């Protein structure tokens, strides 16, 4: 045998061909209740999935128990509801947590969920050092994009640092937080914004840890090594791959230069990926399968910046939650890529490419400038509080939408080649979409009621008081939270205790001063209708854009607010997590001509009913339109309830939406 | 012009006890162009239905963007419900955002969490429509109306430099809100408007030492101005923090106890002059000065500070309109 080294082969120390191990295969999953989710996880694991990625429902994410009034419409909708340790016992039944790599997509209540996990491990006799996984716990991006924050930035950061301190000493293999730029791209971030905002966030976390000064130099290095990232991979896959390479190089530089990390392995940019769902279309949804494949290539082809874990959305994600079959199809794509192709057999295939190198360089330079800007401002926390980052994202998003509207950005099946044969995938008896059984919430509520009745009430009360006291005194809250978990304290009780001490946060909406870049005939048509209205009524039309419930995905609402202003409306937009009562009160006090609701969590029917009840209370007849992920099968019922117009992701043309709205407003009696 | 199905008298009778929707509709009507006739009927109706009509205290809150005015007002609202259980308050928030389309995004509600279904607090946004002085052309009339319904009417405006004088002209009590060491102090000293507000608020006093140093800086700045205006006593300065919930109770108690009212005749006069200037320019002003002002000035003089409101705005506006029409002919 020739001993000649083949540059193109990956080999082990004996010169034998040795392909890379594949990344961790995950599916982001959870729905209905703990029992149904447990069954789903066990099925997925038996199909070759190698890690768990838990989706929690919105009440759990926002720190409400299922029996809170705001929870009712949302229980089990976008993830699994977790109220107390009892739900975790059910959720992980027959799943060996010591062998799992468990990722929890949880932020505002991440300390609580980790405490439950620790309590479960201790109950099962699993040594904590065996626990392996990640709590997402990136509040910065929650303020910017996803909206499941609870406390103000400073207090949130304190909780994150508490977790780093606790984990490093007790659960060394746990990633206490996961800097998450995923949702930034969903909110419209450019690759440069994704790079710079995520890295600025990581810097903010590390600076806060440094400031607490709770680690020795060696421990601090290990701590840097625990920072992981969760990123997004979009459809422009060459650019996305360059973004990943830029991330890797920049993290290496930051950890070395800013933090003086000497050990090479602690400077490695470790990241997981969920590929982009923003670009998935409701129109011709089968095309999404190809989009998902292409997006996966961006984060797998490049060995020097290959992801460590991957989760893929389902082809029908723009329509509803995926069914088990849809998730299986997504998992199979990963398996084909990792096991059928030769992808893992080669060293980095882009090393030395001039194109890739210069693109990476360009991205890095721009991102460095942006990071410096944020640091000069006082860091990521300041850039959140003064609204800078949010307004930058809303700006990128409006630019992106303007381009889709003007067909500058081609989206197959949406603004080009829109005629097609209806997908046979959608003809199954369930219509190709998944709906949560509304009765399943009862099971969750029963578990909760039972846990409450069975627990030692005095102990629960005492642990909550201890938690509050610790928060007031600025102590590390982890041990107190774990004590709460063991005392069967509920999610809502835990979060309320800290709400009492820290207060709740209400961030800038980022829509002030935003402009759309649209000036075609449609815009002038809408504007002339708005002018006609203004002339006839003596004042501009007024719209209240409302984002009710716990669903914090506010991109749609923000775009409508900006478009309405662009058309000449006076717009009232007060951000997320409003109750129907608050939205109606705004509309009544402002004498709005129309209310526009944005709901993506699937609870539109319940919320619309509450809203009309409240309008009746004021004897107000204000027309209501609604936008969001709303299945066609609900249209009739919503219209019967009084909804005047329904917009879904198919309605991407902002000016057509605005035209429909001004038409509705224009026929209303002038003085009403 | 008034919807027959819903007569003005019914709207007024529902608005007076504080029903939100009728109040909202009346404000929209006031905010409509060519509203003179409507205003005449409205204020007649208000006096007719409630001869001892109340005259709420008007409080102006102004300051640079980002000084935290709205969040502060939000806290004031919460405390108001506890501390003034038999009183009602309204807020008019004037938002400067506006663009070429003429549309606007009114974001001030965002910072204020209001109790639901409580008729004791009413919040209304207004686009500034790019008017100088931070006030919308209809603001004055909206305030006049709200004073008949509410015990306290807050006007929140963004003011930079000279512009915030406007709000103090229609307020009984106006506050300038600043941030600690925001550099505003020097700016305001230069623009010579420190004498305009009746009181000052240093907001965002989250940190004691920073708050105190700002307080003393402002105090010494004000003392400097006091030398120029020797008969003025030093205005109060409040240190507030929304996050630490500090100083807000003191601020609100000061407002609740505040007795002084500015001369409403003078207010009418000022607003009318401003309207004439906007509508008819210097030519209009010259006519008004030649023919009417001496008579009005005397009327104002006869009513010392806090005097009864004798001048009826609409009546005077109509008088001037007919006067100007004879000139045009």
ipTM confidence score: 0.87
The whole-number pLDDT of residue B228 equals 60
Name the residue ranges covered by the structural domains of chain B.
1-53, 54-257, 264-328
- Of A399, A420, A441, the position where a domain reaches its end is A420
Kindly report the nearest CA distance between residue A443 and chain B, in angstroms. 32
Q: Write out pLDDT tens, residues A85-140.
A: 999 999 999 999 999 999 999 999 999 999 999 999 999 999 999 999 999 999 99
Q: Write out pLDDT tens, residues A539-588.
A: 899 999 999 888 888 888 988 998 999 999 999 998 888 889 999 999 99
List CB contacts (< 8 A) between A671 and chain B: 2-3, 6, 25, 29
List CB contacts (< 8 A) between A620 and chain B: 21
Q: What is the CATH number of the domain that holds A652?
A: 3.40.50.280
Contact A92/A45 with Cβ under 8 angstroms?
Answer: no
Show the beta-strand stretches assigned E in A79-155: 102-105, 133-135
Kindly report the nearest CA distance between residue B206 and chain A, in angstroms. 13
Listed in sequence order, the DSSP H helices in chain B are 8-15, 20-30, 36-49, 69-83, 139-149, 165-169, 184-191, 208-228, 248-257, 264-291, 293-302, 313-328
The DSSP 8-state label assigned to residue B137 in this structure reads: T
Tally of CB atoms within 10 A around B263: 17
Of A179-188, A356-365, A559-568, B185-194, the poorest mean pLDDT is in: B185-194
Kindly report the nearest CA distance between residue B108 and chain A, in angstroms. 8
Task: State the Cα–Cα distance between residues A469 and B251, nearest whole angstrom.
Answer: 30
A617:B117 CB<8 A? yes
Task: State the Cα–Cα distance between residues A564 and A543, nearest whole angstrom.
Answer: 8
B106:A579 CB<8 A? no
Active site residue A617: no
Q: At what angle do helices B36-49 and B313-328 cross, to 10 degrees?
A: 150
% of chain A surpassing 70 pLDDT: 98
Task: State the Cα–Cα distance between residues B222 and B228, nearest whole angstrom.
Answer: 10
A566:B32 CB<8 A? no
Active site residue A28: yes
Contact A518/A406 with Cβ under 8 angstroms?
Answer: yes
Q: What is the CATH number of the domain that holds A399?
A: 3.20.20.240
Tell whether A345 is covered by a domain.
yes
How many residue pairs from chains A and B have C-beta atoms closer than 8 A?
A: 115
Of A229-233, A315-319, A335-339, the poorest mean pLDDT is in: A315-319
B105:A591 CB<8 A? no
Is A670 a residue whose pLDDT tops 50? no
Task: State the Cα–Cα distance between residues A52 and A562, nearest whole angstrom.
Answer: 39
Of A194-203, A578-587, A629-638, B269-278, the poorest mean pLDDT is in: B269-278
List CB contacts (< 8 A) between A574 and chain B: 107, 109-110
From the list A513, A540, A588, the residue facing B24 with the nearest CB is A588
Statement to judge: residues A416 and A525 lie in one domain:
no
The whole-number pLDDT of residue B310 equals 64
3-state secondary structure A630-657: CCHHHHHHHHHHCCCEEECCCCCCHHHH
Tell whether A105 is covered by a domain.
no
Of A132-146, A300-314, A371-385, B271-285, the poorest mean pLDDT is in: B271-285
Active-site residue among A31, A486, A553, A604? A553
Of residues A507 and A190, which shows the higher confidence score? Answer: A190
Q: How many domains does chain A have?
A: 2
Tokens of A138: 């990136």
A565:B103 CB<8 A? yes
The whole-number pLDDT of residue B161 equals 53
From the list B31, B101, B122, the residue facing A539 with the nearest CB is B31
B116:A582 CB<8 A? yes
Tally of CB atoms within 10 A around B74: 22
Of residues B287 and A292, which shows the higher confidence score? Answer: A292
List CB contacts (< 8 A) between B103 and chain A: 530, 540, 564-571
Task: State the Cα–Cα distance between residues A220 and A207, nearest whole angstrom.
Answer: 11
- Of A420, A441, A465, the position where a domain reaches its end is A420
CA-closest candidate to residue A180, choices A217, A231, A224: A231
Tell whether A554 is covered by a domain.
yes
Kindly report the nearest CA distance between residue A479 and chain B, in angstroms. 26
Task: Determine the residue of chain A that is closest to B128 in CA distance.
Answer: A570
Q: What is the DSSP string of B173-204?
A: EEEEEE-TT-SHHHHHHHHT-TTS-SEEEE--
Of A148-157, A493-502, B262-271, B295-304, the poorest mean pLDDT is in: B295-304
Domain extent for A643: 520-667
The whole-number pLDDT of residue B296 equals 60
Is A26 a residue whose pLDDT tops 70? yes
CA-closest candidate to residue A27, choices A335, A295, A371, A306: A335
Best mutation target among B2, B104, B244 (most A Cβ atoms within 10 Å) is B104
From the list B27, B101, B116, the residue facing A585 with the nearest CB is B116
B106:A572 CB<8 A? yes
Tell whether A111 is covered by a domain.
no
Tokens of A358: 């210069």
List CB contacts (< 8 A) between B20 and chain A: 585, 588-589, 618
Active site residue A547: yes
Best mutation target among A381, A499, A538, A614 (most B Cβ atoms within 10 Å) is A538
A509:B99 CB<8 A? no
Kindly report the nearest CA distance between residue A422 and chain B, in angstroms. 40
A572:B99 CB<8 A? no
List CB contacts (< 8 A) between B75 and chain A: none
CA-closest candidate to residue A404, choices A37, A95, A656, A149: A656
- Residue B117's DSSP bridge partners are none
The whole-number pLDDT of residue A423 equals 85
From the list B20, B103, B104, the residue facing A588 with the nearest CB is B20
The whole-number pLDDT of residue B96 equals 72
Looking up tokens 């996305």 gives A240
CB environment B219-255: b (16+ within 10 A), e (fewer)? eebbeebbeeeeeeeebebbbbbbbeebbbeebbeeb
Q: Write out pLDDT tens, residues B42-97.
A: 999 998 898 777 789 999 998 877 788 888 998 999 899 999 999 999 999 988 76
Question: Could you report the average pLDDT of every consecutive run of 10 residues in chain B (329 residues)?
Answer: 67 93 95 90 91 86 84 91 94 76 77 82 84 69 94 86 69 89 58 71 85 83 68 83 89 94 84 86 83 60 52 85 82
- Of A377, A404, A420, the position where a domain reaches its end is A420
Active-site residue among A183, A243, A452, A566? A183
Of residues B268 and A337, which shows the higher confidence score? Answer: A337
Candidate CATH numbers 3.40.50.300, 1.20.272.10, 3.40.50.970, 3.40.80.10; the one for domain B54-257: 3.40.50.300
The whole-number pLDDT of residue B163 equals 53
CA-closest candidate to residue B23, choices A619, A543, A591: A591
Active site residue A68: no
Of residues A346 and A70, which shows the higher confidence score? Answer: A346
List CB contacts (< 8 A) between A512 and chain B: 97, 105, 107
A671:B2 CB<8 A? yes
List CB contacts (< 8 A) between B124 and chain A: 589-590
Of residues A421 and B220, which shows the higher confidence score? Answer: A421
Tally of CB atoms within 10 A around A222: 16
Active site residue A551: yes
Kindly report the nearest CA distance between residue A351 and chain B, in angstroms. 48
List CB contacts (< 8 A) between B29 and chain A: 671
Tokens of A651: 């309605």
Active site residue A553: yes
Active-site residue among A138, A551, A566, A652? A551
Kindly report the nearest CA distance between residue A493 and chain B, in angstroms. 22
Kindly report the nearest CA distance between residue A526 and chain B, in angstroms. 11
């Amino acid at each position: 045998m020739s001993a000649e080294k083949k540059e193109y082969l990956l080999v082990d120390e004996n010169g034998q061909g040795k392909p890379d191990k594949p990344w961790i295969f995950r599916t982001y999953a959870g729905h209905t209740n703990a029992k149904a989710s447990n069954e789903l996880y066990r099925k997925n694991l038996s199909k070759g999935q190698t890690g768990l990625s838990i989706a929690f429902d919105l009440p759990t994410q926002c720190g409400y128990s299922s029996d809170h009034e705001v929870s009712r419409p949302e229980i089990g909708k976008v993830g699994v509801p977790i109220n107390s340790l009892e739900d975790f016992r059910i959720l992980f039944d027959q799943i060996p947590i010591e062998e799992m790599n468990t990722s929890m997509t949880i932020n505002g209540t991440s300390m609580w969920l980790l405490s439950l996990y620790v309590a479960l491990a201790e109950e099962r006799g699993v040594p904590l050092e065996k626990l392996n996984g990640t709590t997402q716990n990136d509040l910065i991006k929650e303020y910017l994009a996803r909206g499941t924050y609870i406390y103000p930035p400073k207090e949130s950061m304190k909780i994150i640092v508490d977790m780093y301190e606790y984990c490093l000493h007790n659960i060394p293999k746990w990633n206490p937080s996961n800097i998450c730029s995923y949702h930034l791209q969903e909110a419209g971030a450019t690759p440069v914004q994704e790079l710079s905002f995520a890295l600025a966030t990581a810097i903010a976390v590390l600076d806060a840890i440094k400031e607490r000064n709770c680690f020795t130099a060696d421990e601090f290095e290990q701590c840097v090594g625990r920072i992981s990232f969760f990123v997004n991979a979009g459809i422009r896959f060459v650019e996305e791959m360059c973004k990943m390479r830029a991330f890797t190089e920049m993290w290496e530089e930051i950890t070395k230069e800013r933090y003086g990390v000497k050990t090479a392995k602690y400077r490695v940019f470790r990241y997981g990926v969920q590929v982009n769902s923003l670009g998935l279309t409701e129109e011709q949804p089968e095309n999404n399968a190809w989009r998902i494949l292409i997006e996966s290539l961006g984060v797998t082809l490049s060995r020097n910046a290959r992801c460590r874990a991957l989760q893929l959305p389902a082809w029908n994600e723009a329509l509803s939650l995926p069914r088990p079959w849809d998730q299986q199809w997504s998992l199979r794509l990963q398996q084909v890529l990792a096991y059928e192709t030769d992808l893992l057999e080669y060293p980095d295939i882009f090393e030395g490419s001039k194109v890739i190198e210069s693109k990476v360089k360009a991205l890095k330079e721009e991102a460095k400038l942006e990071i410096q800007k944020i640091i000069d401002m006082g860091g990521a926390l300041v850039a959140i509080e003064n609204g800078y980052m949010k307004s930058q994202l809303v700006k990128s998003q409006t630019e992106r939408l303007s381009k889709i509207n003007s067909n500058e950005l081609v989206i197959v099946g949406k603004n080009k080649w829109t005629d097609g044969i209806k997908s046979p995938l959608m003809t199954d008896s369930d219509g190709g979409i998944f709906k949560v059984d509304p009765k399943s919430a009862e099971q969750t509520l029963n578990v909760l009621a039972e846990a409450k009745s069975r627990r030692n009430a005095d102990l629960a009360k005492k642990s909550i008081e201890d938690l509050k006291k610790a928060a007031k005194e600025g102590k590390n809250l982890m041990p107190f939270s774990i004590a709460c978990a063991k005392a069967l304290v509920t999610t809502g009780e835990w979060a309320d205790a800290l709400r009492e001490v820290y207060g709740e946060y209400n961030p800038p909406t980022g829509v002030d001063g935003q402009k759309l870049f649209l000036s075609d005939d449609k815009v002038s048509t809408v504007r002339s209708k708005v002018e006609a209205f203004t002339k006839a009524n003596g004042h501009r039309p007024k719209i209240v854009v409302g984002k009710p419930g716990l669903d914090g995905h506010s991109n749609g609402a923000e775009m409508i607010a900006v478009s309405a202003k662009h058309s000449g409306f006076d717009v009232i937009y007060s951000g997320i997590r409003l109750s129907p009562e608050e939205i109606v009160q705004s509309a009544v006090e402002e004498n709005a001509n129309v209310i526009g609701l944005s709901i993506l969590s699937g609870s539109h029917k319940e919320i619309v009913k509450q809203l009309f009840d409240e309008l009746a209370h004021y004897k107000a007849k204000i027309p209501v339109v609604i936008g969001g992920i709303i299945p066609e099968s609900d249209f009739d019922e919503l219209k019967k309830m009084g909804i005047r117009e329904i917009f879904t992701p198919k309605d991407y043309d902002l000016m057509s939406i605005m035209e429909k709205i001004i038409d509705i407003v224009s026929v209303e009696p002038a003085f009403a | 012009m008034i919807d027959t199905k819903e007569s003005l008298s019914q709207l007024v009778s529902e608005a007076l006890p504080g029903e939100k929707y009728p109040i909202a509709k009346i404000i929209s009507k006031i905010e409509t162009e060519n509203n003179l006739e409507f205003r005449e009927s409205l204020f007649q109706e208000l006096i007719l239905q409630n001869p001892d009509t109340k005259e709420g205290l008007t409080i102006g809150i102004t300051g640079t963007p980002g000084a935290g005015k709205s969040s502060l007002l939000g806290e004031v609202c919460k405390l108001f419900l506890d501390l003034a259980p038999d009183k009602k308050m309204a807020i008019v928030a004037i938002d400067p955002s506006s663009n070429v389309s003429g549309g606007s995004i009114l974001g001030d509600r965002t910072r204020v969490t209001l109790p639901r279904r409580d008729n004791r607090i009413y919040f209304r946004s207004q686009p500034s429509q790019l008017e100088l002085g931070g006030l919308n052309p209809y603001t004055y009339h909206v305030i006049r109306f709200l004073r008949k319904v509410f015990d306290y009417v807050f006007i929140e405006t963004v003011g930079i430099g000279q512009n915030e004088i406007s709000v103090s002209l229609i307020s009984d009590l106006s506050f300038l809100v600043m941030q600690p060491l925001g550099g505003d102090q020097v700016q305001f000293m230069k623009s010579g408007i420190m004498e305009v507000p009746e009181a000052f608020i240093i907001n965002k006093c989250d940190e004691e030492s920073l708050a105190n140093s700002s307080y003393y800086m402002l105090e010494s700045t004000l003392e400097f101005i006091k030398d120029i205006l020797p008969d003025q006593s030093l205005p109060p300065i409040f240190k507030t923090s929304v996050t630490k919930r500090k100083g807000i109770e003191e601020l609100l108690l000061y407002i609740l106890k505040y007795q002084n009212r500015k001369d409403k005749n003078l207010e009418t006069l000022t607003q009318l002059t401003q309207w004439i200037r906007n509508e008819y320019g210097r030519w209009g002003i010259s006519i008004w000065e030649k023919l009417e002002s001496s008579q009005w000035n005397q009327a104002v003089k006869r009513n010392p500070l806090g005097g009864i409101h004798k001048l009826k705005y609409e009546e005077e506006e109509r008088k001037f309109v007919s006067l100007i029409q004879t000139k045009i002919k």
